[in-house]
């Protein structure tokens, strides 16, 4: 039976290897001087044996490398999971730290306010074109009611306009329906701070003869019975003396960054505290 051409080389190498092994086995039993034929067989068998050994070494090294890579990939996945866990923990610690700083500022403000201050967390925002309000997680069961002032460490936030048992809606300083009796701290000029929506606020009813300057702080005057005196409202950002009207056009930038507001205080006068 003829051997296919593509298998002839392999077959011949196999025959030589087998013959070499037989002769070498016999030579172990018949020690003596190596003959010419034995030398020839050894020389012929040496390249295939080296090739086989090299192939075995290659397979062994590839297998070891594969096992190493599998272990390395598993270790890499474990390290990535650990890094993700530590990152989440670090972010949580950072949030708790920042929250602690904000609460500390609120408690410092609480000591300066008349009456009882109830801390609440902002749970929703309503930034419609007309109405500017937020929802907080405290209500009538905590002593809150409609009309109470709401402040933060930065200044006045607004006042409560709706309140249920556990939730209250706060009308922001910038709402068009917001009107607060105000005082320019430097010049002691009084007026009404009115909300202007996304543009901020306007200080109304200040006579043209008054010397109001850009950069002056605007505070509550204490009139009206809602906000106590000297709470920060904002800063004068523009004074327009043009026109022939009786009053100045004064723009005020609120001191509170409403988009970043997270915690607030609602002030309950002492006479309204629960027994």
Q: What is the pTM of this model?
A: 0.64
CA atoms of 34 and 212, how far apart (whole Å): 119
Listed residue (215, 209, 211, 190) closest to 247, CA to CA: 209
Q: Which helix (H) or strand (E) holds 106?
A: helix 36-110
Per-residue pLDDT reduced to its tens digit, 158-172? 999 999 999 999 999
pLDDT recorded at residue 96: 76
Domain boundaries defined on the chain = 7-63, 116-272
pLDDT recorded at residue 273: 46
- CB-CB neighbours of 81 under 10 Å: 10
Chunked into runs of 10 residues, the chain (275 residues) has average pLDDT values of 57 62 54 56 63 72 74 78 81 74 72 82 76 89 92 92 94 92 92 88 92 93 87 93 84 91 86 48
Q: Are 98 and 114 in contact (CB under 8 A)?
A: no
Q: Are 180 and 202 in contact (CB under 8 A)?
A: no
Residue with tokens 């409403």: 258
CA atoms of 238 and 253, how far apart (whole Å): 9
CATH number, span 116-272: 2.40.10.340
CA atoms of 113 and 38, how far apart (whole Å): 110
């Amino acid at each position: 039976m003829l051997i296919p051409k593509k298998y002839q080389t392999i077959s011949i190498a196999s025959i030589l290897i087998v013959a070499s092994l037989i002769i070498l086995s016999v030579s172990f039993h018949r020690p003596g001087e190596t003959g010419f034929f034995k030398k020839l067989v050894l020389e012929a068998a040496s390249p295939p044996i080296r090739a086989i050994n090299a192939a075995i070494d290659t397979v062994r090294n590839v297998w070891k490398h594969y096992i190493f890579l599998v272990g390395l990939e598993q270790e890499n996945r474990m390290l990535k999971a650990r890094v993700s866990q530590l990152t989440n923990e670090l972010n949580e610690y950072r949030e708790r730290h920042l929250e602690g700083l904000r609460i500390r500022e609120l408690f410092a403000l609480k000591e300066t306010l008349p009456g009882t201050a109830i801390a609440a967390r902002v749970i929703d925002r309503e930034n419609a074109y007309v109405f500017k309000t937020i929802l907080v997680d405290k209500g009538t069961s905590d002593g809150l009611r409609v009309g109470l002032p709401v402040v933060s460490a930065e200044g006045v936030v607004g006042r409560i306009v709706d309140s249920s048992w556990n939730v209250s809606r706060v009308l922001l300083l910038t709402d068009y329906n917001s009107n607060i009796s105000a005082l320019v701290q430097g010049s002691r000029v009084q007026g009404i701070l009115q909300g202007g929506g996304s543009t901020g606020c306007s200080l109304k009813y200040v006579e043209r003869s008054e010397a109001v300057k850009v950069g002056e702080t605007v505070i509550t005057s204490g009139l009206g019975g809602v906000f106590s005196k000297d709470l920060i409202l904002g800063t004068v950002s523009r004074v327009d003396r043009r026109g022939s009207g009786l009053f100045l056009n004064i723009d005020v930038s609120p001191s509170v960054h409403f988009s970043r507001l997270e915690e607030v205080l609602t002030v309950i006068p002492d006479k309204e505290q629960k027994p």
